Structures are given as C-alpha cells and as structure tokens.
Amino acid sequence: MFEIYDRGAAAHESKFLGLGIVGIEELMVNPSQRQVIALQCRPYETDDVTGSLTVEFLFIEGAEIPQMTDHPYKLKETSKSVSPTGKVITTTKTVFSKAGG
C-alpha cells in the first residue's frame, strides 16, 4: 500500500493525495514490471482523490530484508507452483526473528 502526500511548507501542512494498493500475488506473476495504479481515498473517508501513480517493481525472491528496527519481526514467504498434473502447490514459510540476532 502506498499513501501519497503533498508536503506543505510546515510539517503539519501535508495534504493527502490518495492511496494505491498492489498485491504481492500480482508482483509474483511478473517479477519486474511497471504498473499504473489509480489513486483512491482512505477507507471510511471522503477524500477528493484523482490521478494515478506510476511505479516500477523488481521482486527479488530470497532477497535479504534490511534491519530497520530493534523490534522482533515476522517474515512470511509464500510460493505457488503448478505440478505436472495441474495441481496448485502452495508452500508457506514463516520465520520469527529478533533484529540483530
């Protein structure tokens, strides 16, 4: 999810321009892609939102996740593949880790 703001002269003057959502499933279909995402209003709000956001993604499977906090985190990795018989096989790996160790 992306939230887009127009920063004003003062920190408290930021104007909400819209939000865009991209699912990880979409990224796994084509690991390098450019998407144009229509901006939408926040849930339960009546924001006046128009426009779109153009973003380019490069999904790297197995990439290292940078440590940005001292808090523990959970990393969930899901992959789907199709067997020769046509059955979809979903594999999920969840790792709990303390930052820095």
Q: Where are the domains of the chain?
A: 2-97
Residue with tokens 């709000």: 45
* pLDDT class of 33 with cuts at 50, 70, 90: confident
pLDDT, tens digit, 9 for 90 and up, residues 75-101? 667 777 777 788 877 777 777 666 555
SS3 27: helix
Q: Please tell me the number of Cα atoms within 13 Å of 27 on its side-chain side.
A: 14
pLDDT tens for each residue of 45-69: 888 888 888 888 776 666 666 665 6
